[in-house]
């Protein structure tokens, strides 16, 4: 049949790609967990890992710290979002909150740890400002601080979006029915948000549990699963079999949390209509929440302050005069500068290829009439990529591609990033494509377009703002990811984040911070640029609509 | 009796209501009629207490309510999209207010209301399973349980179709009569306003264009706006109906 030929081609390409770069590697991890380095099948690695006292301790630590961080982050994110949606605080201040809350997302997690060390450590910036060390940074406290800063942007984005979709008129109904303020809060904010709050909790738990960057720098004696995995694989005595077992155990909480998220989705309350209302006056409430939100953001962002200071000082904390020496040194060091160029190149290529791939996937599921089974395959791929932590994918690639021409090349890093982050871009694309009018393809075909022409002339221009968003998502994440590439970046294919890990051994903090600043500014510029482009293309779509509307009115 | 005296309201410097004064008798059904953007919803929100007036007074039974907060005024509203709590079933929605004030309506009174609105068979259903007309009746019941001194209805019929529309109209009239309840309805549909209410207030551009009984408005439109936009619409509808029934009307004429 002629119909769907192109879609089926796209599907086949996607299926082959993910079979090769997701299914085969994951299966090899499973096999390795039984065979180790040899070929004999045994459970010895499981026994070794599970009976080793260190591992169970690390597992417990991971769960404990992740639950604490997830809980704290969800509460803090809720307060920030509440300030934006339910207080009469000034518009500018609200804007500032929403922007500041997501800033840490633009930095690699490995930087967080060093920022904490240089802020709260013995010679840290904030320690000096306060005159004493506030708390011991290595171990639980440092991890908690790092994880909260790391996951706050994600939890905030989730809750903030959901709050925007709550019909605030229910507050009026509730008040008219004689509810006390506490009951109104419970009935019109808390209950509709329960699903989202649970989602935020689980999502942040998952991120903390699988992150490698933060424990790499401030974990100290507090071993977590991610650091165990790193030592098993790249420590002084690598043990691939044990590494595979640890990796598989790392997947379990992810699978559980994603399953729970899937179930929760059904319980989200949906409103037909969002009506803006004038909020009840409450000066005390407004002031309290404004101060609280300000305090939360100052606390999270203050630890990054050091990044902007230390690299510009001769020798922290002994010779405190301003200098551009360190910054210059990075740019003059062809190796470091080269690493930056590598990172940008990897990020651009990841974004480009990733956007095309997720667009293709979304075209199959959202704009074609192929059988439900094929669509289900793509949806499942997205779901699976969402459950597998970056470190595990990296490890799987290490198993499969070592000794092949792909080993230590840029393509393998790019592919790893694409697979690792596939889920969100795919869902963004699918969501946007399925909202478009379903008869466009038919209409265009009746006018004589073939399928490709329709996609190029009609669907793509209308999806442009989402495509740009997806591109920007891939770009930023490829710039900051450390967990997925730590196992597969070679000496010639260093990216900034793996370089930072290496610099850590030599205590080269100036370089670490300069490189982090480079990532931050690159991301800020990239995001601003894509925002702008997306806004332009959105406006073009909208003006077209308005024009059509006014034409109708005039008629 | 509800009195408004020189009530004014602006949003960001743009006047939405300019100097509104009116009296509404107890037990009366009054419709506020006007095109979108005329200020009718703002007027409703002012009476309910969602927004504060910039100037003027709102007086109910000689008591000045202008600065009294919404929940202390004792008025209640049914919103256009009903705003039923989606996580509760029909019965829980209807008796929602009783959790806070159990003495406000007795068991029998609630049952009477449920019977009057024909909701017996739906009590255990979830909100998502109801049709538009059923939702409207549930919302009406939920509000009536609170025994409001004034019932406000925001576009009560606009989301309903054909026959349901007429039956809800009857229910609203019955309730207003049965409970001797002052009812204020906001609508943009002249036919709805003129067939449903004792008196109709036509608002244009933040001012009252005419306030009178339906027959007065038809017989003596006070200005160009009422003639052009209100009567004209009805005229077109009337002619359409006449054309449709032309055959029957001729027969009737011949019989007479």
| Residues A179, B100: C-beta atoms closer than 8 Å | yes
Quote the CA–CA distance of A324 and A2 in Å, as a whole number: 64
pLDDT (0 to 100) of residue A280: 77
Q: Which residue has the tokens 């004209």?
A: B232
pLDDT tens-digit series, residues A308-333: 888 888 877 777 788 888 888 888 88
| B242 occurs within a structural domain | no
pLDDT of residue A268: 64
Task: Give the minimum alpha-carbon distance from B78 to chain A in angstroms, rounded to a whole number.
Answer: 9
Same domain, B35 and B130: no
The reply to whether B70 touches chain A by the CB within 8 Å rule is yes
B67, two tokens: 């600065």
- Mean pLDDT on B146-163: 87
Does CATH number 1.10.3720.10 belong to domain A1-34+329-555?
A: yes
Query: Is the CB of residue A517 less than 8 Å from the CB of residue A433?
Result: no
Contacts of A113 (CB under 8 A, 6+ apart): A142, A146, A213, A214, A215, A216, A217, A218
Q: Give the three-state DSSP class for A252.
A: helix
Percent of chain A with pLDDT over 90: 32
- The chain A residue lying nearest B50, using CA atoms, is A278
The pLDDT confidence band at residue A205, using thresholds 50, 70 and 90, is very high
Give the residue from B98, B46, B105 showing the smallest Cα distance to A179.
Answer: B98
* Cβ-defined contact of A176 to B101 (cutoff 8 Å): no
Looking at domain A45-303, does it have CATH number 1.10.287.3510?
no
Question: Can you tell me the mean pLDDT for A292-301?
Answer: 91
pLDDT at B200: 94
Mutation target to probe the B interface, by most B beta carbons within 10 A, among A171, A172, A268 is A172
Contact call for residues B8 and B18 (beta carbons, < 8 A):
yes
- Decide if pLDDT at B166 tops 70: yes
**Cβ(A468)–Cβ(A541) under 8 Å?**
no
Whether the Cβ atoms of residue A402 and residue A341 lie closer than 8 Å to each other: no
- Rounded Cα–Cα distance for residues A461 and A470 (Å): 15
Q: What is the largest CA-CA distance in chain A?
A: 80
Interatomic CA distance for residues B70 and B150, integer angstroms: 12
Residue B185 within a domain: yes
Is the ipTM higher than 0.85? The answer is: no
- On whether both B140 and B188 belong to a single domain, the answer is no
Task: Tell me if B153 sits within 8 A of B183, measured CB to CB.
Answer: yes
> What is the share, in percent, of chain B residues with pLDDT greater than 70?
100
Residues from chain B that touch A172, judged by Cβ atoms under 8 A, are: 48, 50, 70, 77, 83
b/e A324-344 (16+ beta carbons within 10 angstroms → b): eebbeebeeeeebeebbebbb
Which residues in chain A have Cβ-Cβ distances shorter than 8 Å to B51?
278
Preferred mutation among B83, B95, B104, B141 to probe A, highest tally of A CBs within 10 A: B83
Question: Are A183 and B70 a contacting pair at CB < 8 A?
Answer: no
Q: What is the pLDDT of residue A541?
A: 64
In degrees, rounded to 5, the angle at the alpha carbon of residue A415 between the alpha carbons of residues A410 and A420 is 130
Q: State whether A179 and B50 contact (CB < 8 Å).
A: no
B181 lies in some domain: yes
Residue of A170, A180, A183 with shortest CB distance to B83:
A170
Give me chain B's average pLDDT, please.
89
* Domain-located, residue B246: no
Nearest CA in chain B to A194: B87
* Residues in CB range of B101: below 8 A, 6 or more apart: A178, B146
CA B96 to CA B98: how far, in whole Å? 5
Higher pLDDT, A430 or B249: A430
- Domain membership flag for residue B114: yes
Going by C-alpha positions, the residue among A362, A395, A367 that lies closest to residue A378 is A362
B79 burial level (CB within 10 Å; 0-12, 13-18, 19+): buried
Contact B83 A178 (CB under 8 A): no
Query: What pLDDT does A269 receive?
Result: 63
Same domain? B121 vs B176: no
Residues of chain B contacting A167 with CB distance shorter than 8 Å: 83
The reply to whether B160 and B142 lie within a common domain is no
Kindly indicate the confidence band of residue A542, based on its pLDDT and cuts at 50, 70 and 90.
low
Q: Using the beta-carbon criterion (under 8 Å), do B77 and A167 form an inter-chain contact?
A: no
**Could you tell me which residue, A280 or A360, shows the higher pLDDT?**
A360
Q: What integer is the mean pLDDT of B80-92?
A: 85
Task: Check if B97 contacts A (Cβ < 8 Å).
Answer: yes
Same domain, B169 and B142: no
| Of the candidate ranges A117-126, A184-193, A513-522, B59-68, the one whose mean pLDDT is the lowest | A117-126
The rounded distance, in Å, linking the Cα atoms of A409 and A414 is 9
Q: How far is A257 from chain B (nearest CA, A)?
A: 24
Q: Are residues B33 and B123 in the same domain?
A: no
Residues B123, B40, single domain; the answer is: no
pLDDT at A272: 62
Q: Would you call B146 an interface residue with chain A, using a CB distance cutoff of 8 Å?
A: yes
Q: Where are the domains of chain A?
A: 1-34+329-555, 45-303
B79 within some domain:
no
Hey, which of A185-199, A416-430, A494-508, A529-543 has the most confident mean pLDDT?
Answer: A416-430
Chain B residues whose CB is inside 8 A of the A278 CB are 50-51
Cα(first)–Cα(last) distance of chain B, in Å?
Answer: 47
Confidence bin at A550 (pLDDT 50/70/90): very low
d(CA A254, CA A63): 12
Strand partners, B58: B4
How is residue B99 annotated by DSSP? G
Q: Identify which of B80, B83, B90, B77 has the alpha carbon closest to the alpha carbon of residue B159.
A: B80
Residue A216 near residue A227, CB atoms below 8 Å? yes
B100 interface with A at CB cutoff 8 Å: yes
CB contact under 8 A, B146 and A175: no
**B219 and B152 co-located in one domain:** yes
Task: Give the range among A256-260, A424-428, A437-441, B24-28 with minimum mean pLDDT.
Answer: A437-441
pLDDT for A445 beyond 90 = no
The beta-carbon neighbor of B83 closest among A169, A183, A269 is A169
Q: Which CATH number characterizes residue B23's domain?
A: 3.40.50.300
Q: Is the peptide bond before A412 cis (omega within 30 degrees of 0)?
A: no
- Tens-place pLDDT, residues A142-152: 999 999 999 99
Coil, helix or strand for A437? coil
Residue contact A167–B86, C-beta within 8 A: no
- pLDDT, one tens digit per residue, over B14-58 is 899 999 999 999 999 999 998 888 888 899 989 988 888 999 999
Residue A235 has pLDDT above 70, yes or no: yes
At residue A551, does pLDDT exceed 90? Answer: no
Same domain (yes/no): B57, B140: no
Say which of B70, B87, B101 has its CB closest to residue A269. B87
Mean pLDDT score, A264-280: 69
In this chain, the answer to whether the domains covering A1-34+329-555 and A45-303 adopt an identical fold is yes
Mean pLDDT, residues A431-460 = 79
Residue A553 banded pLDDT, cuts 50, 70, 90: very low
CB A245 within 8 A of CB A399: no
Residue A515 in contact with residue A124, Cβ under 8 Å?
Answer: no
CB B76 within 8 A of CB B148: yes
Q: Determine the distance from the C-alpha atom of residue A141 to the mean position of all C-alpha atoms in its chain, rounded to a whole number.
A: 23
What average pLDDT does the structure give for chain A?
Answer: 86
Distance from the A144 Cα atom to the nearest Cα atom in chain B, whole angstroms = 35
Q: Which residue among B50, B97, B101 sits closest to A172, beta carbon to beta carbon?
A: B50
**Residues B122, B134 contacting (CB under 8 angstroms):** yes
Rounded average pLDDT over B133-150: 91
**Would you call A178 and B81 a contact, using CB atoms and an 8 Å cutoff?**
no
| pLDDT, tens only, B226-254 | 988 888 888 998 899 889 988 888 888 77
Count of CB contacts below 8 A, A vs B? 47
Q: Are the Cβ atoms of A178 and B50 closer than 8 angstroms?
A: no
Mean pLDDT, residues B192-208 taken together: 92
Domain end point (choices B130, B146, B162): B146
- Residue B241 belongs to some domain of the structure: no
* Per-residue pLDDT at A241 exceeds 80: yes
Give B161's pLDDT tier (boundaries 50, 70, 90).
Answer: confident
d(CA B152, CA A256): 49
pLDDT exceeds 50 at position A486: yes
Between vectors from CA B30 to CA B28 and to CA B31, what angle results, nearest 5°? Answer: 160
As a residue count, chain B comes to 256
Greater confidence (A172 vs A68) lies with A68
Measured between beta carbons, the chain B residues lying within 8 angstroms of A269 are 86-87
Name the CA dihedral angle for A469, A472, A473, A479, rounded to a multiple of 10 degrees: 180
* Interface list for chain A against chain B, based on CB atoms closer than 8 Å: 167, 169-170, 172-173, 175-180, 183, 187, 191-192, 269-273, 275, 277-278
Q: Is position B247 within any domain?
A: no
Cis amide prior to A460 (ω within 30 degrees): no
**Nearest CA-CA partner of B215 in B187, B194, B201, B244:** B194
Beta strands in A88-238 (DSSP E): none
Same domain, B29 and B122: no
User: Rounded to an integer, what distance in angstroms lies between the CA atom of residue A329 and that of residue B165?
Assistant: 78
Determine the pLDDT at residue A84: 93
C-alpha neighbours within 13 Å on the C-beta side of residue B190: 22
Same-domain pairing of B210 and B156: yes
> Which pLDDT does position A270 carry in this prediction?
63
What's the domain range around B37?
A: 2-74+148-223
Measured distance CA(A428)–CA(A435) in Å, rounded: 11
Burial class (CB in 10 A: 0-12, 13-18, 19+), A492: exposed
Total count of domains within chain B: 2
Comparing C-alpha atoms, which of B114, B121, B196 is closest to residue B155? B196
What does the pLDDT read at residue A329? 83
Orientation of helix A283-309 relative to helix A53-86, angle to 10° = 130
Helix (H) or strand (E) holding A457: none
Looking at residue B198, what is its pLDDT?
94
> B129 and B176 share a domain?
no
Residue A345 to residues A139, A206, A475, A496, A527, Cα–Cα distance (Å): 35, 29, 10, 11, 16
């Amino acid at each position: 049949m002629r119909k769907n030929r192109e879609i089926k081609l796209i599907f086949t390409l996607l299926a082959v790609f993910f079979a090769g770069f997701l299914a085969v590697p994951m299966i090899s991890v499973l096999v390795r967990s039984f065979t180790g380095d040899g070929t004999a099948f045994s459970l010895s690695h499981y026994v070794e890992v599970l009976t080793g006292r260190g591992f169970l301790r690390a597992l417990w630590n991971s769960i404990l710290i992740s639950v604490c961080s997830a809980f704290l982050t969800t509460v803090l994110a809720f307060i920030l979002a509440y300030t934006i949606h339910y207080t009469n605080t000034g518009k500018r201040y609200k804007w500032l909150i929403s922007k500041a809350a997501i800033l840490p997302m633009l930095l690699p997690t490995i930087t967080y740890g060093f920022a904490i060390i240089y802020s709260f450590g013995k010679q840290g910036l904030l320690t000096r400002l306060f005159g004493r060390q506030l708390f011991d940074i290595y171990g639980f406290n440092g991890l908690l601080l790092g994880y909260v800063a790391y996951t706050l942007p994600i939890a905030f984005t989730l809750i903030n979006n959901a709050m925007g979709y709550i019909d605030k008129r229910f507050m009026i109904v509730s008040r008219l029915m004689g509810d006390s303020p506490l009951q109104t809060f419970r009935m019109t904010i808390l209950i509709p948000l329960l699903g989202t709050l649970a989602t935020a909790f689980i999502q942040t738990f998952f991120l903390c549990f699988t992150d490698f960057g933060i424990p790499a720098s401030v974990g100290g004696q507090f071993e977590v699963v991610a650091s165990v995995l790193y030592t098993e694989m790249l420590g002084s005595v690598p043990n691939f079999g044990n590494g595979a077992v640890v990796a598989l155990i790392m997947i379990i909480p992810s699978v559980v949390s994603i399953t729970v998220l899937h179930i929760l989705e059904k319980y989200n309350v949906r409103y037909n209509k969002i009506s803006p209302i004038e909020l009840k006056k409450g000066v005390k409430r407004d002031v309290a929440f404004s101060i609280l939100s300000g305090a939360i953001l100052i606390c999270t962002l203050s630890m990054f302050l050091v990044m902007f200071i230390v690299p510009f000082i001769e020798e922290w904390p002994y010779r405190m005069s301003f200098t551009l020496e360190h910054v210059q040194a990075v740019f003059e060091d062809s190796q470091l500068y080269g690493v930056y160029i590598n990172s940008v190149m990897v990020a651009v290529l990841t974004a480009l290829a990733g956007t095309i791939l997720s667009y293709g996937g979304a075209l199959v599921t959202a704009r074609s009439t192929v059988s439900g089974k094929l669509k289900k395959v793509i949806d499942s791929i997205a779901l699976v990529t969402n459950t597998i932590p970056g470190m595990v994918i990296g490890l799987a690639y290490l198993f499969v591609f070592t000794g092949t021409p792909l080993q230590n090349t840029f393509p393998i890093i790019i592919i790893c990033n694409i697979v690792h982050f596939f889920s969100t871009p795919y869902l963004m694309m699918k969501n946007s494509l399925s909202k478009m009018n379903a008869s466009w393809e038919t209409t265009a075909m009746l006018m004589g377009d073939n399928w490709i022409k329709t996609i190029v002339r009609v669907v793509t221009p209308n999806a442009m703002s989402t495509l740009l968003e997806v591109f920007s998502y891939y770009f930023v994440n490829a710039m900051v990811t450390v967990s997925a590439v730590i196992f597969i970046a070679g000496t010639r294919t260093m990216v900034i984040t793996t370089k930072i890990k290496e610099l850590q051994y030599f205590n080269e903090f100036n370089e670490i911070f300069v490189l982090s600043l480079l990532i931050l500014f690159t991301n800020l510029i990239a995001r601003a640029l894509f925002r702008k482009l997306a806004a332009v293309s959105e406006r073009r779509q909208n003006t077209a609509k308005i024009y059509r509307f006014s034409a109708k009115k005039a008629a | 009796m509800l009195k408004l005296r020189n009530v004014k309201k602006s949003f960001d410097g743009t006047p939405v209501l300019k100097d509104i004064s009116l009296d509404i008798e107890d037990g009366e059904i009054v419709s506020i009629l006007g095109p979108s953007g005329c200020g009718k919803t703002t007027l409703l929100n002012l009476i309910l207490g969602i927004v504060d007036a910039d100037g003027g007074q709102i007086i109910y039974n000689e008591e000045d309510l202008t600065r009294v907060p919404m929940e202390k005024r004792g008025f209640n509203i049914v919103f256009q999209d009903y705003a039923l709590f989606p996580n509760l079933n029909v019965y829980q929605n209807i008796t929602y207010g009783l959790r806070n004030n159990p003495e406000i309506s007795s068991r029998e009174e609630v049952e009477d209301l449920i019977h009057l609105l024909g909701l017996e068979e739906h009590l255990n259903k979830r909100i998502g399973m109801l049709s538009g007309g059923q939702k409207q009746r549930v919302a009406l019941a939920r509000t009536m349980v609170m025994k409001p001194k004034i019932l406000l209805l925001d576009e009560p019929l606009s989301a309903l179709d054909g026959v349901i529309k007429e039956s809800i109209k009857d229910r609203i009239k019955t309730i207003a009569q049965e409970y001797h309840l002052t009812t204020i309805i906001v609508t943009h549909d002249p036919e709805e306003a003129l067939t449903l209410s004792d008196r109709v207030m036509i608002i244009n551009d933040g001012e009252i264009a005419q306030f009178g009984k339906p027959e007065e408005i038809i017989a003596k439109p006070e200005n160009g706006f009422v003639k052009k936009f209100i009567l004209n619409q009805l005229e077109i509808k009337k002619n359409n109906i006449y054309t449709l029934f032309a055959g029957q009307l001729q027969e009737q004429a011949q019989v007479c």
